[in-house]
Structure 1
Amino acid sequence: MTDVTDLAPDRLELGEGSRWVADRVVLVDIPAGRLLSAPAPTGKSQPLTELAKLPVPLAAVAPIAGQPGAWLAAAGTGFAVIDERTGEASWLAAPQPVTDRPWRMNDAVADRAGRFWAGSMACDQSPRGGALYRLDPDGSVHTVLRDLTIANGPAFSLDGRVMYLSDTPLGHVDRFDVDRATGELSNRRPFARIDPEHGSPDGLTVDAEDHVWMALFGGAAIRRYRPDGTLDRVVPVPARQPTSVCLVGEHVVVTSSQEGLTDPGPHDGAVLVLHEGTTGVEALPARVD
């Protein structure tokens, strides 16, 4: 196994949404509603800093262009701006539900135009209870895809022309063409299909070589794929349920979950750091006009 260290001594219930922003890593603990940060990896484990705690599940954030310390969040059943200086959230918009069951927002990311793409899921993970939404800089909310189960890991190619999206319980990762001017999606086709015995595709990210990294929830591993969908490498990790991958310079940061485990091990719920000789890119900012 690749040498693995802890970014922090903390153990989270459901760590997710890790992002490289300037000189730090920002992430969330979804059910606890916590926005957390740590210095970029240095080889020394330091406790996570809590930037905010919401009364609803906090699924993912993106930095907001031109507003240092402000984060656009997919949280609860809507979108909010979090001010890390006060820890307070200002609610912006709520998308149209696609299920009559209790539901929540899930993984989210900004694209090069500042649009904020967020998945959703039914809280009981019922089939077709999730969607993919897009919050545009003008505040309008669009339901982009329906009939998903757990929409996870939106990620974009370096040129912004391709979006990758996983539907975790189905083991599917699809790719779409993106109209960079409008955000419209087209030409959906398979990118990767994961055998359940290897885990389920969770968070995704794209590195500086335009390769796609994937966390395999339940598979105790992360994977790197070439842009054509062929598998480049498999990297085991000591956490059974890795949830997101964040490339910070040449470091790979992996969040994990201990949710649902009756016997969590020493690394379950950890934020891990690996050294894979791969260069990452910083998280793109969202725009709020």
Structure 2
Amino acid sequence: MLRIELIVDTRAALGEGPLWDVQEQMLYWIDSYGPAVHRCDMNGRNRCSWPLPEAVGSMALRRNGGALLSLKSGFHALDFATGDVTRIVDPDPGKPRVRMNDGKVDRRGRFVAGYMDTEDRDPLCGLFSLAPDHTLQKLDEAIICSNGPCWSPDGGTFYFADTTRKVIYAYDYDCATGRVANRRVFASFDGLRGYPDGATVDADGFLWSVEFDSGRLIRFAPDGAIDRIIGLPVNSTTSICFGGRDLDIAFVTSMARPIGGVAPKEREAGGVFAVYGLGVRGLREPRFAG
């Protein structure tokens, strides 16, 4: 039976990037404008947090401990023991109107993250891959708002959303080199109520996209057809991951900050939700290999 629970009742300005760690059996997520990294167990208990020096778009756990962050000014490392944040590289310097946004790790341990225009209107942004040896590779450009990077179960297809354009793209992905090719439209949100935001792929190869400004989860089949739509308690939903002992719980973040001067009307906005009973399982998220 489908059941939705608010497991963390926090008014996060911009809750984002939920990440379930199979090794620790813990849920991580970020508040982009907190800015901070947060962690809790599958029931929302045993919380701890790490404050950050600037806006954060996404995070990945590292194989050797700690986290990799996409902050406003580029890729950084976070030491959980000390809270220290150390800069690695700024992939696209000299653009004051952009900041790094959503990112995830591919099957070979690279971290892929893109930028967003903070005024949400011009194609100023690039999509970058950081290899374990900290080599940078630019994958795409002329993006307005990067969101929802994820891969098919075999790693051969890369999905990526430009939220402002209301489209999810699919690319051919070369796991050996990390290069992309053959970009095409996977799904358009023009006929839907909201915008594509965070996303993940389940074990059956279906893509789950969080529809921002609508409060829905949309499951797309591998051919881009809509398979299911699940309504959520708040419209300001932002991102999703699968977690829990069997990777069968969908954890969904949301935001409480106003958009266009209008604050979300729901009291639970900014909280973290758990969706039970979907009847599907997710995939284990890789750790950054560097």
Q: TM-score, normalised on structure 1?
A: 0.93
Letter in 2 for 1:17: G
**Aligned residue for 1:46?**
45
Question: Hey, what's the Cα distance between the residues in 2 that align with 1:91 and 1:196?
Answer: 41
1:219-275 Cα shifts (integer Å, max 9, x gaps): 110111111111110000011111101111211111011222425311211101111
Alignment of 1:232-243 (within 5 A): 232-243=227-238
> Structure 1 pair 13/54, CA: closer, same or farther in 2 (3 Å)?
same
- Corresponding residue SS for 2:8: coil
Hey, what's the Cα distance between the residues in 2 that align with 1:75 and 1:264? Answer: 29
Task: Tell me which residue corresponds to 2:33.
Answer: 31
Residues 171 and 200, structure 1, Cα contact 8 Å, conserved in 2: yes
Which one-letter code corresponds to 2:73 in the other structure?
A: T
From 168, 175, 181, the counterpart of 2:176 = 181
Return the match for 2:163 from 168, 172, 176: 168
Q: In 1, distance between residues paired with 2:122 and 2:96?
A: 11
- Give, as a single letter, the amino acid of the residue that structure 1 aligns with 2:79: D
Deviates more, 1:131-140 or 1:261-270: 261-270
Closer, same or farther in 2 for the Cα pair 1:83/1:129, shift >3 Å?
same
Cα distance in 2 for residues equivalent to 1:190 and 1:214: 14
**Partners of 1:196 and 1:76 in 2: how far apart?**
32
Instruction: Name the SS for the 1:169 alignment partner.
Output: helix
Structure 1 window deviating more from structure 2 (195-204 vs 104-113): it is 195-204
Report the residue type matching 1:83 in the other structure: D
* Higher deviation after alignment, 52-61 or 164-173: 52-61
Match of 1:125 among 106, 120, 124: 120
Q: How does 1:206-285 map to 2 (within 5 A)?
A: 206-248=201-243, 249-260=247-258, 261-275=262-276, 276-285=278-287
1:253 partner SS: strand
Q: Residue 263 and residue 284 in structure 1: after superposition, are their counterparts in 2 closer, same or farther (change >3 A)? A: closer
- 1:50-65 equivalence runs, <5 A: 50=49, 52-65=50-63
SS in 2 for 1:113: coil
**Aligned-partner Cα distance in 2 for 1:154–1:48:** 27
Q: Which amino acid aligns with 1:262?
A: A
Checking the alignment, whether the CA contact within 8 Å between 1:2 and 1:236 is kept in structure 2 is no
1:4 counterpart SS class: strand
Instruction: Tell me the amino acid that sits aligned with residue 183 of structure 2.
Output: R
Q: What's the offset of the Cα at 1:279? A: 0.8
- How far apart are the structure 2 equivalents of 1:196 and 1:46? 39
1:94 to 86, 90, 94: 90
Q: RMSD of aligned C-alpha atoms?
A: 1.6
The residue number in structure 1 matching 2:150 is 155
Residues 26-51 of structure 1: CA deviation (Å, up to 9, x unaligned):
1100011200011024xxx437421x
Where does residue 73 of structure 2 map in the other structure? Answer: 77
Per-residue deviation, residues 40-73 of structure 1 (Å, max 9, x unmatched): 24xxx437421x11110111111111x13x1111
Residue by residue over 1:178-203, the C-alpha shift from the partner in whole angstroms, topping out at 9 and shown as x without a partner, is: 11111110011111000265100000
Figure out how many residues of one structure are paired with residues of the other and give that number.
Answer: 281
Identity of aligned residues (%): 29
Query: Whole-Å Cα distance in 1 between the matches of residues 175 and 280 of structure 2?
Result: 27
> Quick one: structure 1 residues 2 and 259, their matched pair in 2 at CA, closer, same or farther if it must change by over 3 Å?
farther
Contiguous gaps of at least 5 residues in structure 2: none
